[in-house]
Amino acid sequence: MADWTVFFVSDHTGVTAEAMGRSLLSQFSGLHYKTLTVPFVSPGNLPDLLNRIASSSPALVFSTLTDPVLREKLKASGAPVFDPFSAFSVPLAQSLEQTPVSITGLTHGINQGYEDRMEAVNFALAFDDGLNPERLAEADLIISGVSRAGKTPTALYIALQYGKKVANYPLTPDDLEADSLPQQLLANLPRLRGLTLSPERLAQIREARLPSSRYASLENCRRELAAAERLFRKHGVPQIDSTHRSVEEIAARIVHELRNL
Amino acid sequence: MADWTVFFVSDHTGVTAEAMGRSLLSQFSGLHYKTLTVPFVSPGNLPDLLNRIASSSPALVFSTLTDPVLREKLKASGAPVFDPFSAFSVPLAQSLEQTPVSITGLTHGINQGYEDRMEAVNFALAFDDGLNPERLAEADLIISGVSRAGKTPTALYIALQYGKKVANYPLTPDDLEADSLPQQLLANLPRLRGLTLSPERLAQIREARLPSSRYASLENCRRELAAAERLFRKHGVPQIDSTHRSVEEIAARIVHELRNL
């Protein structure tokens, strides 16, 4: 089977072209390919890109170039180009009964809420791992769980992607032996979410941090998780299992459930 | 003009459908629309979604549903559907000379490197704001700049999105008065990048933190930034200006430049 070179081409970061392309390629099994993301394509650096595509055969191109002139030139590379702008701009204009404006240089709208997102990141750092517990009422969302359940990456991802102020609050061994969740969490129950995972996975993660410790032992992980899940259930806190989910998926599930409350 | 309802529909997080849709819609000026992201669509919750689309007129749908059966049902909603899977799967299969497998339930490939990305987030936190300077050699990348230049969000975004270990190291007023960059940075020059921004923007950001302070004054910001830029230039450190750029764009520019070194 041929070894393909797959180009993800964009006049912005290339993240959307790459996500779309990888998703489409995941439909084909046993495919051998290497990928090259080429962001910030402009009239100035397009000739270089066309040369690279021409010298990589066989090649595929996934593009989110917005400039119709650049899009046409890209097609002239000879490689198949998969491009939602070319495919959808005309039918979208027909649906909207409006002509598209030239949008070269416009961002893809992801600058939206930039200030909010930066503020949210600073908030997540200031409220990481139980910091500032007396100010939890300021949080849009509070994520709790045992040590190494994945609270920090989840909180930071939600802050960066969705601009929400997320605190994370660890359940310590002392908390887990109590009859109810800590007072600071009880005072903010509607915005509290529990993060859980399988004992095996948690033991593996903890083992990497503190090898052969009681902290990392499967038995201890099992006991801590059972106690945490019991406390969350007792207070009706929705829980999400992170064992087989990426941080993006966990974040999306938490945020979209929140919107529906 | 009609008020459109725009649905971003996905069997995963919806982030790609939303990015693609917003990008396409940004071609049309003066459009009034509200948006609804519907992630994790399954056979079970599809009827609900179809009802919501039907009761929202006029509606547009951007979809990255991977299951052909769900895609067909979505089209039956009557609203225009813009869907790269329907548009590109067949021509992609022709280019690859291969039949797509059914991929319901497959992720979009963004679980790739999950462990690396989580490790990178932990690294970025452990190396935030100059922590662990004696271990900077472990970093894939070091971001430096004056206080509030945006180092932390940039480092965290690169960690989450690209799985790279990023340290960030602040230039203090003492550092800025020296003749050269701090020794810890000099020892890691090839992986060092400078983050800068306009004095006006920096003053605005600092003013929100410490109002009416010398720290936030335009004069002080101007002096600090000039000193930092001079030091970066002296040692040939590539600088990126964050004034008019989103964290995604800064991250992509830094990462892709790095790949080309």
Residue % of chain A over a pLDDT of 70: 93
- According to the model, what pLDDT value does residue A141 have? 96
CB contact under 8 A, B84 and A84: yes
Which residue, among A246, A250, A254, A260, would best test binding to B if mutated, counting the most B CBs under 10 Å from its CB?
Answer: A246
pLDDT band at A26 (very low <50, low <70, confident <90, very high): confident
Selection from B196, B220, B197, B195 nearest residue B207 by Cα: B220
Residue span of the structural domain in which A178 resides: 114-260
Q: pLDDT, tens digit, for every residue of B199-219?
A: 999 999 899 889 999 999 999
Q: Are residues A78 and A129 in the same domain?
A: no
- According to the model, what pLDDT value does residue A122 have? 87
Q: Are residues A144 and A252 in the same domain?
A: yes
Q: pLDDT, tens digit, for every residue of A193-246?
A: 999 999 999 999 899 889 999 999 999 999 999 999 999 999 999 999 988 888
Contact assessment for residue A59 and residue A4, using Cβ atoms and an 8 Å cutoff: yes
CB contact under 8 A, B153 and A60: no
Residue B176 has pLDDT above 90, yes or no: yes
Residue % of chain B over a pLDDT of 70: 93
CB contact under 8 A, A109 and B22: yes
Q: pLDDT, tens digit, for every residue of B5-26?
A: 999 999 988 888 998 999 899 8
Q: What is the CATH number of the domain that holds A33?
A: 3.40.50
Q: Residue length, chain B? A: 261
Minimal-distance CA residue of chain A relative to B129: A125
Tokens of B166: 């990023």
Q: Are residues A92 and A118 in the same domain?
A: no
CB contact under 8 A, B27 and A96: no
- According to the model, what pLDDT value does residue A109 have? 42
- According to the model, what pLDDT value does residue B76 have? 86
Q: Are residues B148 and B241 in the same domain?
A: yes
CA gap B192, B141 in Å, rounded? 6
pLDDT band at B143 (very low <50, low <70, confident <90, very high): very high
Provide mean pLDDT across the span A11-29.
89
Strand, helix or coil at A240? strand
- The secondary structure of B61-95 as a DSSP string is EEE----HHHHHHHHTTSS-EE-HHHHHHHHHHHH
Angle at the Cα of B145 from the Cα atoms of B139 and B149, rounded to 5 degrees: 115
Residue B79 has pLDDT above 90, yes or no: yes
Domain C-terminal end among A67, A96, A125: A96
- Is B103 part of a structural domain of the chain? no
- Is B223 part of a structural domain of the chain? yes
Look at strands A81-82 and A59-63 and give their pairing. parallel
CB contact under 8 A, A15 and B13: no
Q: What is the DSSP letter of B101?
A: P
- According to the model, what pLDDT value does residue B140 have? 95
pLDDT band at A258 (very low <50, low <70, confident <90, very high): low
- According to the model, what pLDDT value does residue B78 have? 86
Strand, helix or coil at B40? coil
Residue B90 has pLDDT above 60, yes or no: yes
Residue A49 has pLDDT above 90, yes or no: yes
Which residue, among B156, B205, B255, would best test binding to A if mutated, counting the most A CBs under 10 Å from its CB?
Answer: B156
Strand ranges inside A39-120, DSSP E: 59-63, 81-82
Is the pTM higher than 0.95? The answer reads: no
Highest mean pLDDT among A148-157, B17-26, B228-237 belongs to: B228-237
Tokens of B175: 């550092």
Contact assessment for residue B119 and residue B125, using Cβ atoms and an 8 Å cutoff: no
CA distance B227 to chain A (A): 25
- Is A161 part of a structural domain of the chain? yes
CA gap B174, B161 in Å, rounded? 33
Q: What is the DSSP letter of A191?
A: G
Mean pLDDT score of chain A, rounded to an integer? 89
**Domain tally for chain B?**
2
- According to the model, what pLDDT value does residue B192 have? 96
- According to the model, what pLDDT value does residue A111 have? 47
- According to the model, what pLDDT value does residue A41 have? 93
